[in-house]
Structure 1
Amino acid sequence: MNPKDDHYYIDQVKNGKLSAFSYLVEKYRDMVYGLSLKMLKNTEDAEELAQDTFVKAFQSIGTYRGSSKFSTWLYRIAYNGAITQLRKRKVELYSLDEQRLSDQDELDIANRLTEIDQEALAGSLKKAMATLPADDQVLITLFYYEDQRVEDIAQITGLSESNVKVKIHRARKKMYSFLKENLEEAVFNVL
């Protein structure tokens, strides 16, 4: 087995070589912390959740069957932990308003926005992401920034694949509306 393969280290841990788990922690700590921070929006809570995620993963490694990628399994643990913390805080997640914008319109706008100063656009995208509910931010992050497939996101979040697609689509529309309002001059100059 290739020593770089996650399954090699997982098997090592299952066979009693507990120090092999440190490789998995090192490899996935930024990913888990990033997801935790996106959802909880607090560095201390995110650090605590990341630690809890690895503790739970270590304690449950015997139940990992390998039917999905280890990163997906780990994301699922972190996601569930974040949802639990958010429920404890009694944070309400608001549904998105429907927007009347076709997919072709989105594509046209996206193509034209590439002409806008990339640095200004990156800052605006960050602000647009902040307007989304935490669960939608996670979906956008997983899909666009972490390059996770819809199938993997569905496993991580417990949502159906079609629900993941719909939520990502709606989140993109909401971000578009924010960008349109806040970059109105730049967007309409491009149009």
Structure 2
Amino acid sequence: MLFIYLAMIDDDTQRSKFEYIYHTYYGMMYRVAYELTKDQRLAEDAVHETMVNIIEDIDTIRMDNPKELKSYLYVVTKSKTIDFIRRWEKRKTSLYPADEVPEINNFDSPDEIALTKITLQKALQALNELPEKYRITLVMKIKGYKLKDIACLTNTSEANVKNRIHRARKYIFSKLK
């Protein structure tokens, strides 16, 4: 995982700063997150979000006082974990009470089901035909990555990411018509 984080950082001094934080304080940060979540996977996800936040703020983090640094990381981890738990709980709660779940029938006939499968197959085929730089960018956007993160991971500008997404969508829609 460290490799992925380091790929998000451009400057060598920032990389070494982050590596030190990661190797020295990851265990403490994980324990803080685990105490709050009581779940190994959720704790790892919360620490991941904290690490991404640290990367964003790496220039403002002071390294001259280890006690201050540890306190800062503790507070940031705890805060990010609490935010993560809140978002997680919102996802888990249902929009409808159990006995009021509306019945959803999206298809009226087997013909519509067949057409939907054909359309899906065409879309997947069009996605596979895309040049790699467009496919990767579009898939990352579909998976929920922010434009800034996609730009960082693909070593391009946000404007270029938007352009690639637009071209990929346009290509796929043209294949579906």
TM-score, normalized by length of structure 1? 0.36
TM-score, normalized by length of structure 2? 0.38
Larger radius of gyration: 2
Which has the bigger relative contact order, CA under 8 A and spacing at least 6? 1
